[in-house]
Amino acid sequence: MYLLDELSEKYKRISIVGMAKNAGKTTALNYLIEEAMDEGITLGITSTGRDGEGTDVVTGTDKPRVFLDTDTIVSVPKQLYEMADAGLEIVKMTDYGSSLGQIMLCRVVDSGYVQVAGPVINAQHVEMCEEMLRLGADLVLIDGAIDRKSIAAPGTSDAIILSTGAVLSRKMSKVVEETAHTVNLYRLPNLEDGRERDLLTEENIEQISLIRDGQLVTLDRSTGLGAGKFLDSKIDDKVTHVFVPGAFTHSIVADINPKKLRNITFVLKDPTKIFIGTMMWNQFRKRGLNIKVLENINVAAITVNPTSPGGYAFDHEELVKAMQEAIPDIPVIDVRM
The pLDDT tens digits for 187-232 are 999 999 999 999 999 888 889 999 999 999 999 877 767 788 889 9
Which residues are bridge partners to 211 per DSSP?
A: 216, 241
CB 29 within 8 A of CB 69: no
Look at residue 243 in the predicted model and tell me its pLDDT. 96
pLDDT under 70 in the chain at which residues? 1-2, 50-62, 145-151, 224
Q: CA 57: distance to chain centroid?
A: 22
Look at residue 122 in the predicted model and tell me its pLDDT. 80
Look at residue 62 in the predicted model and tell me its pLDDT. 62
Look at residue 6 in the predicted model and tell me its pLDDT. 79
Domain ranges of the chain: 3-186+297-333, 195-293
Supply the DSSP string of 224-268, one letter for each residue: -TT-HHHHHHH--TTEEEEEE-S-EEHHHHHTS-HHHHTT-EEEE
Looking at CATH, the fold of the domain delimited by 3-186+297-333 is given as Rossmann fold (3.40.50)
Distance CA 76, CA 88 (A): 9
The pLDDT tens digits for 252-280 are 999 999 999 999 999 999 999 999 999 99
- 237 burial class (0-12, 13-18, 19+ CB within 10 angstroms)? exposed
Look at residue 257 in the predicted model and tell me its pLDDT. 92
CB 143 within 8 A of CB 29: yes
Look at residue 149 in the predicted model and tell me its pLDDT. 59
pTM over 0.95: no
